[in-house]
């Protein structure tokens, strides 16, 4: 039994599928993904952005293929990146076939939008022949006409009915290497749809609040929507959709998972908002430390607290901690134990050094 059962999340055990060498579903870690916003035909810029997305901690990346030149560009792009590529396909079935043949490891499609069954079968054949999975991407903004007429407006039942219909199209052709999403820009609609779908299918679910908005508003909406579902044990891969740099999407996605104990990567900083009691500039210190410690991938916990009200208690639960003290004499904690006093102007270099030491120690133990 867990020592802290209130922190336990009982994840639903879904079917395991592969996106390249990334396993999704079952007991596998929840993967984080983003999407490039470069022109796919600008191969050099797209490769550069994918590598930056990967460096920030993405497991998978999605690339839009709106035309033939874009889908063929995947051949060169996939050779120069280290994470699997999902080809984002809308309407034209030939783009899906070309993407599968040129290195994509997953196709994001809505079978109902592809056209007649012969075209869908050709896409599935290309996916099978190239070991390519499929994400059925249902979106509140592009539901099938008959479903929209039936329900009058996008609602949870409409999104789920569309998803189940499209799942059956693939299953009827003995295709099961798939995951599903039922996205909306409305948090309530998304949460309700995913909860319903999770009860009706065992396929892994891709979570997202689509078109969430700018960095601040989109991060908040995504945290509420994805966080609510993840706490329910729902979700196998996530994407935070922001009108911003895709690298920031990955950062926010990882932070959501880290805050729920679903992913451990890099330095987790616990810091106070600061007040008149602070013995050093907490906000500025945290900003600098985030940059100076961005290279560390090993999970390390760090507390930066400006005074002794909560400082010692927080430091007792982190690998490295700093608590503000009078006259610039701040206290360094290592593994929850007081270590030494640190002058204010030495805090950043001392903390960086100790976090790096701890990360190195943990790497050796692993």
Task: Render pLDDT for 210-266 as a digit per residue (tens, 0 to 9).
Answer: 887 899 999 999 999 999 999 999 999 999 999 999 999 999 999 999 999 998 888
Q: Report the pLDDT value the prediction gives residue 142, as an integer from 0 to 100.
A: 84
Q: What's the average model confidence in pLDDT over 166-177?
A: 94
DSSP assignment, residue 37?
Answer: -
Do residues 328 and 270 lie in contact, with contact meaning Cβ atoms separated by under 8 Å? no
Q: Report the pLDDT value the prediction gives residue 361, as an integer from 0 to 100.
A: 93
Asked if residue 1 has pLDDT above 70, the reply is no
Task: Round to whole Å and give the CA distance between 280 and 362.
Answer: 29
Q: Report the pLDDT value the prediction gives residue 113, as an integer from 0 to 100.
A: 75
At residue 62, φ and ψ (nearest 5 deg) are -105, 140
At residue 275, φ and ψ (nearest 5 deg) are -160, -170
Q: Report the pLDDT value the prediction gives residue 324, as an integer from 0 to 100.
A: 94
Asked if residue 128 has pLDDT above 90, the reply is yes
Q: Which one is predicted more confidently, 329 or 227?
A: 227
Strands 320-323 and 300-305, bridge-based pairing: parallel
- Exposure class string for 262-281: b at 16+ Cβ within 10 A, else e: bbeebbbbbbbebeeebbbe
Sequence-distant (6+) residues with CB within 8 A of 237 are: 24, 30, 31, 32, 33, 59, 60, 179, 204, 205, 206, 207
Task: Round to whole Å and give the CA distance between 354 and 332.
Answer: 10
Per-residue pLDDT band for 197 (boundaries 50, 70, 90) equals very high
Q: Report the pLDDT value the prediction gives residue 2, as an integer from 0 to 100.
A: 61
pTM value is: 0.91
Per-residue pLDDT band for 122 (boundaries 50, 70, 90) equals very high
Q: Report the pLDDT value the prediction gives residue 365, as an integer from 0 to 100.
A: 86
Sequence-distant (6+) residues with CB within 8 A of 224 are: 187
Task: Render pLDDT for 20-69 as a digit per residue (tens, 0 to 9).
Answer: 999 999 999 999 999 999 999 999 999 999 999 999 999 999 999 999 99
Do residues 138 and 183 lie in contact, with contact meaning Cβ atoms separated by under 8 Å? yes
Burial class (CB in 10 A: 0-12, 13-18, 19+), 313: middle
Counting Cα atoms < 13 Å in the Cβ hemisphere of 359 gives: 21
Do residues 156 and 140 lie in contact, with contact meaning Cβ atoms separated by under 8 Å? no
Task: Render pLDDT for 266-310 as a digit per residue (tens, 0 to 9).
Answer: 899 999 999 999 999 999 999 999 999 999 999 999 999 999 998
Mean pLDDT of the chain: 94
The answer to which of 206-210, 226-230, 327-331 has the lowest mean pLDDT is 327-331
Asked if residue 146 has pLDDT above 60, the reply is yes
Q: Which helix (H) or strand (E) holds 179?
A: strand 178-183
Do residues 126 and 100 lie in contact, with contact meaning Cβ atoms separated by under 8 Å? yes
Sequence-distant (6+) residues with CB within 8 A of 60 are: 19, 20, 22, 31, 32, 33, 83, 84, 85, 86, 106, 237
């Amino acid at each position: 039994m867990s020592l802290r059962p209130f922190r336990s999340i009982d994840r639903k055990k879904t079917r395991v599928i592969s996106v390249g060498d990334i396993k999704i579903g079952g007991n596998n870690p929840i993967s984080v993904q983003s999407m490039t916003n470069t022109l796919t035909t600008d191969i050099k810029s797209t490769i550069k952005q994918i590598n930056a997305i990967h460096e920030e901690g993405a497991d998978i990346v999605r690339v839009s293929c709106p035309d033939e030149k874009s889908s063929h560009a995947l051949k060169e792009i996939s050779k120069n990146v280290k994470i699997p590529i999902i080809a984002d396909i809308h309407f034209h079935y030939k783009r899906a076939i070309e993407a599968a043949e040129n290195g994509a490891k997953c196709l994001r499609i809505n079978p109902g939008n592809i056209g007649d069954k012969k075209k869908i079968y050709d896409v599935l054949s290309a996916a099978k022949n190239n070991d390519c999975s499929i994400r059925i991407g249902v979106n509140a903004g592009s539901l099938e006409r008959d479903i929209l007429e039936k329900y009058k407006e996008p609602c949870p039942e409409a999104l789920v009915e569309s998803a189940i219909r499209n799942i059956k199209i693939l299953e009827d052709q003995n295709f099961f290497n798939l995951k599903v999403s039922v996205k909306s820009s409305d948090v309530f609609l998304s949460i309700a749809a995913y909860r319903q779908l999770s009860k009706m299918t065992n396929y892994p679910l891709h979570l997202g609040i689509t078109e969430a908005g700018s960095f601040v508003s989109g991060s908040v909406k995504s945290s509420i929507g994805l966080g609510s579902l993840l706490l329910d044990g729902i979700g196998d891969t996530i994407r935070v959709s922001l009108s911003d740099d895709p690298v920031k999407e990955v950062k926010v996605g990882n932070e959501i998972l880290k805050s729920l104990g679903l992913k451990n990567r890099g330095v987790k900083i616990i810091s106070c908002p600061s007040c008149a009691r602070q013995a050093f500039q907490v906000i500025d210190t945290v900003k600098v430390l985030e940059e100076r410690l961005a290279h560390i991938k090993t999970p390390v916990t760090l507390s930066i607290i400006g005074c002794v009200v909560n400082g010692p208690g927080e430091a007792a639960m982190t690998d490295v901690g700093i608590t503000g003290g009078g006259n610039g004499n701040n206290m360094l904690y290592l593994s929850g134990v007081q270590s030494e006093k640190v002058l204010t102007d030495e805090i950043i270099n001392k903390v960086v050094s100790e976090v790096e030491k701890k990360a190195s120690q943990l790497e050796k133990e692993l």
